[in-house]
Each structure stands twice: as C-alpha cells, then as structure tokens.
Structure 1
Amino acid sequence: MAIGCGLSVANLYYSQPLLADMARAMRVGDREMGVVSMLGQAGYALGLLLFVPVGDLTEKRSFIVGMLGAVAVACLAVTASPSYAWLAASSFILGAATIVPQLIVPFAATIAAPGERGKVVGTVMSGLLVGILSARTASGLIGHSLGWRATYGIAAVLMVGLMIAIRFTLPRSVPDHAGMSYPLLLHSMLGLIRDEPILRHSAVFGAMMFAAFSVFWTTLAFHLSRPPFEYSSDIVGLFGAIGVGGAAAAPWIGAFADRRSARWTIGLGMILTLMAFVIFGVAGRTIVGMIVGVILLDIGVQCSHVSNQTRIFALRPEARSRVNTVYMVAFFCGGSLGSLLGAQAWSLWGWPGVSACGIAFVLVALGAFWLTGRDGRRPPTEQRTT
C-alpha cells in the first residue's frame, strides 16, 4: 500500500523541479508556470471531492485499477502537450485523476487495529511522502538527461505496471454503503463538516500547512536556477531527496500520536515549519540554509499531516473515505492557494516575498490552532490513559 501511494502521488510533483525548463519550452514566464502547478493541485482537490467518496460505495480494488488507467492516459496527454494551454488543461486532468493514494490511506486505516491506527497510517503516509519527495529527484534527473516530456512518458508506463500489481496484490473490499446513492453520499459530507469539529479544525490546519509547503516547492526551481546558485533541474530535484528523512519519520510520528496526543504533534509540526521559513528568509541564499530549511519543512509538514489524519480516521469508521475527502479537499485547496500566491510573491518580491508568504500561512495555522483550544470532543485515539 505504501509503494502504491508513493508511485501514484508522484505524478502531481514531477513538474516542480522542471518548471523553469517547461517555461522555456512553452515560452512563458514564471508566473504562468506557477499557474500550471496550481491547476494540478486544484484538479486533485476536485478529484478528491468527486471520486474519493465513491470508495464508500464500490469495491476499492477495481476502482483503484480504473483510476490508474485514467492517470496513465493523462500522463501521456502531458507528454504530448503542444502548447501552454494544452499543458495547463492536461495538468488539471492529471491532478483530478491522481486520487489513488486517498483511496488507499482510508483502506489501510480500516484494516488497522484501533491502537495501531496512527502507526499504520504513518507507514502508508511515509510511502506517500517518499513518493512526493523522490518524484522531484527523479524528474529532475530524467528531465536534465532526456527532457521534461520523457518524465511523463515514463510515468505512464509505471502506472500501467502499478495497475497490474494492485490487481493481483490488493485484497478485495466490501463496500460500506453499497445502497446509498452518489448524490446522497456527497450530501452526507456536509453533515460530517457540521457535526465533527475535529474534522473542521484539522481541515483548516492541513490547508494552511500545505499552502506553506506549496509556496516553497512551487518557487524553489525558480530560486535555484538564478544567482547565486544557477542550478540545473537535476540539482534542483536532489532537494527532494533531502526531505526523505521527514518521510521516514512518519511511522514514529504516528506511533507517538497514538501514545500521547495527535493535537500535540500537530502543534510541534507547525513550530518546525515556522522555523524552516525563518531560516529560508535569513539564510536562503546559502546552500546550508536551504538544506536545513528543507529538512525542517518536510518533517514539520509531515508531523502535522500524519497527526491530522490520525485524528480524523478515529471519528467515523463507517465513513472514512468521506472524512478523508473533506480533509484532503481542504488540504489541496490550501496547496493550490499556496502555489498561486507563492508564484505571485516570487514575481513581485523574489525570495524574501516567498519566505514571508510561507510564514504568513504558518501563522494563520498557529492562530487557528490556538483559537480552537481543546477543539471539542476528542476521538478515541487521542484519549490518554491515566
């Protein structure tokens, strides 16, 4: 499950080290390529809203295999892009199709024992985050050697291989609400938002944290391609490998959330992320400052994200796909906003503007964290033994 999450989610992030190269190929500016990054995340948010709830209605393995086929076709569409408009549209479609990780994660939570749910989710999420970070490294190296189009051609082949692997390895599932209509299923998410304060609060925390994360990764290629660095896409992609340590920490973060309090680790993640952007602002023109900041950023965002999911999966066992949909739609709406505003900040004020934008998002998250206090009833996984 962790491997499937990593390979499938990678499609959303191949573009980030390649944005400068893609901008040159399409003869557009940095701001326009920032819009392409934003559209991929906006498409993902739409796909989460429309497709992930179907995981509560249908047999998950067949649904996952079908969605992977759609991802493979979308990757080929990006590869063949003849113009900026085509690239933007196909990136949006690719994002909308790449929802497989959010079918796998709640499935993993369902089969996990209650006392180990945080650890299991953390393990699957570690695969997901390794996929995100490794995608940047792989696409940077492939893009530098073979061109950015080859990256998406190879991705299409990988998706076909993953379809075959999942068809023969993932167990069949029993639909949780096979008798419920699709419109009623979508409408039921409004009830979840209304009735579950923890879900609402975690959605805000996640959205702001991923917005800050996207501010950085959307603009990194532009920053590193200019003085004093002047790096090519293969070196930019290596920054993704630096953050793999944060992904490796996910199972321990989840286990700690099981033992103590997921809310406590969410706050810790926010503080680490704030420290990362302060370092980017102060020492963002040095390689040491960038490396230290990347490590703190990836650990901080991972710490917050895994802990948020540990909390929400304890709320409604019979509706985990829909609970995850509400959270992840907010999460990627935040990411889309971060990509858009990050690109704008870069165009207007350069790297200092990017650092300030990231700090602003984290401060909003910290403000929401403080205002929500104990945030209503606590799910079973957050109840500490005395």
Structure 2
Amino acid sequence: MPYRPDSPVKRAAGAEEAAGGYNGTFREGGRTSALGNCQTFLFAITCAMAVANVYFAQPLLESMASSLSVPASTIGVVVTATQAGYAVGLLFIVPLGDLLNRKKLILTQMLLSALALCAVGMAQEWAVLLGAMVLVGLMAVLVQVVVAYAATLASPEQRGQAVGTVTSGVVLGILLARFVSGAMADLAGWRSVYFVSAALMTGMALVLWRMLPAAVTPTLKGGYLVLLRSVLQLFLSERTLRIRGTFALLIFAAFSVLWTSMVLPLSEPDLALSHTQIGLFGLAGVAGALAAARAGRLADRGLGNRTTGVALALLTLSWLPTAFVHSSLLAMVVGVVLLDFAVQAVHVTNQSLIFAARPDAQSRLVGAYMCFYSVGSGLGAIAATYTYAQAGWVAVCILGAAISAAALLYWLWLELTSK
C-alpha cells in the first residue's frame, strides 16, 4: 500500500468507542465540546513547566557538585539519571492515558512531580539526589500525556492546530529552562530552582483541576500488561508511526547535534561568550519554534507531507550560516532560527498525522513516537561531542547537514515510491 500521509484515515466506530467514546469532541454530562483556546493555552503552559524540569539541572551541575561535595567528573550523572527516568516513563507511564482517566492521571503526575522536585531541593546526599532526579524525569512524561489528551479533546479539523500550540509550550520549556534556572540560581542558589518549580506545578494542578471538565475514562479492554504489549504491536502495525518516527529520529539527532555542541565554539577564546550570553541563543530558537506552531494548521488542511518536505530542506540549509559562527554571530542566529523552525514544523506535523491515524490509541502512539525522539537525541549528542573533539566546529556542521539531508532524501524516496 503506498504511503499517503495526508490522506484522512477512517476508523470504525468500534475503535472510537475503545477510546472512551472519542468522536472528535469532548463529552461532559451528556454535552459535547471541542477543545477551547483557554484549555489549549493551559496545556501549553503545563507542558512548558513539565519539560523544563528535565533541563533545569544542566547549568546547575557545578553548583550541585560543590554543594554535595561530588567530583565534577561525576556530577554529569545527574543529567543521565533524569533522562533515564524520562525514557522509562515514555514506555511505562505514557500509555496509561489509553487505560485510565486522563485528567486524574495528569493531576496525579503533577503532584508527584512537585514532591520529586522538593526532594531534589532538599537532597543532602548524592544517592538521594540521583533518586529524586530519576523521579523528576519519570514524572516529566506528563508532557506526552498532555499532548495526547489535547489531541483527543480537539475536533478532527482543529487537531493539528491544537497539537502545534501545545508543542510550542514544550519547545519554550526546553529552550528557556537553562536560562531561567541559571538566572534563579544566581539570585537564590540552585535549590531555589526546584522549590519554585514544585510550587508552580502544584499551583497549575489546582488550576487544571478547576478549569478542565471531568474526563471520560477510556474503556480499553485488558489490563496494564495488555496495554504495554499493544505498544509493541503499534510499532509493527502502524506504518505511519514507523515513517514519522524515522523522521523524528533524524530531525532530533540534528537538533541535538547543534544544541549539545553549540556552547563549545561560543566559549572559545575568540568569542568567549558568558553562560548568560550563550543562553540567549535559546531566545532565537524560541522565535523559530513559535513560527512552526502553524504547521499543525497546514496538516489539518491536508498539507502535512508538503510541509515536511519544505521544512527538511530548510533544516539542511540551516547548517550553512551556522558554520560561520567564528566570523558572524548573526549568521549563527539565523541558523538557529531556521533549524528550530524546521525541526518543530516536522515534529508538529508528525504528531498530527500519527494521531489522525489512530484516534483510539493516542497516548500509546505518542509514547512510541517519543522513543524515536529519545534515540535520535542521544545519538546526536554523542556524535556531536566526538566530532567536535576530533575535527572542530565545521565538521559538526557537516555532520548536522548530513543527518538533515538524510531525512530529506528519505522524504523524497517516500514521495517517489508513493506515486
């Protein structure tokens, strides 16, 4: 069967009932309503806060090491522990959205996240800190539960737009977390970052409890083990998931190549930018990411595949100005904006298309999809730091361009074989 990602996928009514009565609207007390702008905004803010918890630690590692008397060579395990918790959550918590009441699941995760953040802030022992960071990462998969919930609440004609808006919150959280945590640590110490975040998560949980209507509990047959087996079955049965997952692996590998290694040339003697100045490049990335939020609307209009091709071409071209960082910081800014725009445009389109393919399995789909994201991000980070150490910044840009070009060639191959 040829690959046609822009074709609307029709599913039987039985599949919709398996999702808890999904029909593009939200049921509340016998009434139906589409996802409102206020709810979409709250979901975006929630995602920004949740994903930021994963990235807060990166600028704080030196302070943590000093506070707990941990060798600098060891403190990086904090980041690894957080990412490990996040990876486990993708596989074992996110799919629960197709089994349990999503509103209750989200509120529970937010409150547990607040407790884990408090544990980080109060940690006086190395082992306690690591355990708490694992829990922080585990609860941060709240992001994917919220994205799937937003896609479920949205009507089919607004699903892409809703996913795009909520995903913009995720990107804002990722790009601003390092800057915010560094600034707060300068003012009140690294522990304050986690205490403030815990208070904000608790406050947002109360807001969502009041603002969101009671959710319908999905009526998926079988227990938790059946649910986990079905995630593997989705990998095998859903071609759209495999194809869009491949795009995710490649684009986030390219994304990680830039953002993992960018600090290295910017810190060299010829530029010698401070951590705060380097953090400002995240603001440039925000501009591109926010612009890409409209990609969801294009997917709603059946233009998702065309959007993917254009974005991948921009992604490949973005490495050209980026390579000239030593002669022009403005060129670097242009490259960052283009790259973030392209990556998020494809990411939003990916999610819109896989959600449309299986409305009855949205939480499992996003959990499975984000596994591709995690693999790509990890491989990109390892490849970028190794390449920079061996051959410098231009070689890193060539690496990023090669990964981006591979994604573009894959898209072209799909286009040719689907005719």
Same fold (TM over 0.5): yes
Cα 1:376/1:77, change in 2 over 3 Å: farther
Does 1:135 find its partner at 2:170? no
Secondary structure of 1:283's aligned partner: coil
Summarize deviations over 1:199-222 as a string: whole Å, max 9, x none.
Answer: 101011112111221222223334
1:21–1:233 CA contact under 8 A, matched in 2: no
2:323–2:332 CA contact under 8 A, matched in 1: no
What is the CA–CA distance in structure 1 between the aligned matches of 2:103 and 2:71, rounded to whole Å? 41
Tell me the amino acid that sits aligned with residue 130 of structure 1. Answer: L
Summarize deviations over 1:320-363 as a string: whole Å, max 9, x none.
Answer: 11111111121122212223333333444443343333233323
Aligned to 1:278: 320
What is the CA–CA distance in structure 1 between the aligned matches of 2:269 and 2:144, rounded to whole Å? 39
What is the CA–CA distance in structure 1 between the aligned matches of 2:188 and 2:90, rounded to whole Å? 32
Cα 1:15/1:278, change in 2 over 3 Å: farther
Does 1:232 find its partner at 2:274? yes
What is the CA–CA distance in structure 2 between the aligned matches of 1:182 and 1:238, rounded to whole Å? 44
What is the CA–CA distance in structure 2 between the aligned matches of 1:17 and 1:288, rounded to whole Å? 24
Does 1:40 find its partner at 2:82? yes
Shift of 1:50: 0.5
Shift of 1:304: 0.7
Does 1:344 find its partner at 2:344? no
Secondary structure of 1:28's aligned partner: coil
Tell me the amino acid that sits aligned with residue 11 of structure 1. Answer: N
Secondary structure of 1:227's aligned partner: coil
Tell me the amino acid that sits aligned with residue 5 of structure 1. Answer: C
Cα 1:196/1:178, change in 2 over 3 Å: closer
Cα 1:38/1:210, change in 2 over 3 Å: farther
Aligned to 1:56: 98
Tell me the amino acid that sits aligned with residue 226 of structure 2. Answer: L
Shift of 1:68: 1.5
Aligned to 1:28: 72
Summarize deviations over 1:109-130 as a string: whole Å, max 9, x none.
Answer: 1121212211121121122222
Summarize deviations over 1:156-182 as a string: whole Å, max 9, x none.
Answer: 222222222222222221122354211
Cα 1:353/1:140, change in 2 over 3 Å: farther
Secondary structure of 1:171's aligned partner: coil
What is the CA–CA distance in structure 2 between the aligned matches of 1:324 and 1:229, rounded to whole Å? 40
- Give percent identity, aligned residues only: 38
Question: Size of the alignment, in residue pairs?
Answer: 375
Q: Aligned match of 1:200 in 231, 242, 262?
A: 242
Shift of 1:253: 1.4
Summarize deviations over 1:273-329 as a string: whole Å, max 9, x none.
Answer: 222223222335532122111111110111110010111010111111111111112
1:313–1:320 CA contact under 8 A, matched in 2: yes
Cα 1:184/1:172, change in 2 over 3 Å: same
1:198–1:375 CA contact under 8 A, matched in 2: no
Matches within 5 A, 1:97-116: 97-116=139-158
Shift of 1:131: 2.2
Aligned to 1:363: 405
* Unaligned stretches of 5+ residues in structure 1: 378-386
What is the CA–CA distance in structure 2 between the aligned matches of 1:115 and 1:98, rounded to whole Å? 29
Aligned to 1:354: 396
Aligned to 1:295: 337
Cα 1:367/1:77, change in 2 over 3 Å: farther
Matches within 5 A, 1:285-324: 286-324=328-366
Shift of 1:16: 4.1
Cα 1:217/1:87, change in 2 over 3 Å: farther
Aligned to 1:384: none
Bigger mean CA deviation after superposition, 332-341 or 217-226: 217-226
Cα 1:15/1:240, change in 2 over 3 Å: farther
What is the CA–CA distance in structure 2 between the aligned matches of 1:355 and 1:89, rounded to whole Å? 36
Shift of 1:69: 2.4
Tell me the amino acid that sits aligned with residue 168 of structure 2. Answer: S
2:101–2:218 CA contact under 8 A, matched in 1: no
Secondary structure of 1:302's aligned partner: helix
1:215–1:342 CA contact under 8 A, matched in 2: yes
Secondary structure of 2:56's aligned partner: coil
1:136–1:238 CA contact under 8 A, matched in 2: no
Does 1:212 find its partner at 2:254? yes
Cα 1:34/1:208, change in 2 over 3 Å: farther
Aligned to 1:372: 414
Q: Aligned match of 2:108 in 66, 71, 95?
A: 66
Cα 1:99/1:39, change in 2 over 3 Å: same
* RMSD (Å) for aligned C-alpha atoms: 2.8
Tell me the amino acid that sits aligned with residue 262 of structure 2. Answer: L
What is the CA–CA distance in structure 2 between the aligned matches of 1:300 and 1:24, rounded to whole Å? 39
Does 1:123 find its partner at 2:165? yes
Bigger mean CA deviation after superposition, 318-327 or 127-136: 127-136
* Unaligned stretches of 5+ residues in structure 2: 1-42
Secondary structure of 2:45's aligned partner: helix
Aligned to 1:383: none
Matches within 5 A, 1:172-191: 172-191=214-233
What is the CA–CA distance in structure 2 between the aligned matches of 1:215 and 1:88, rounded to whole Å? 26
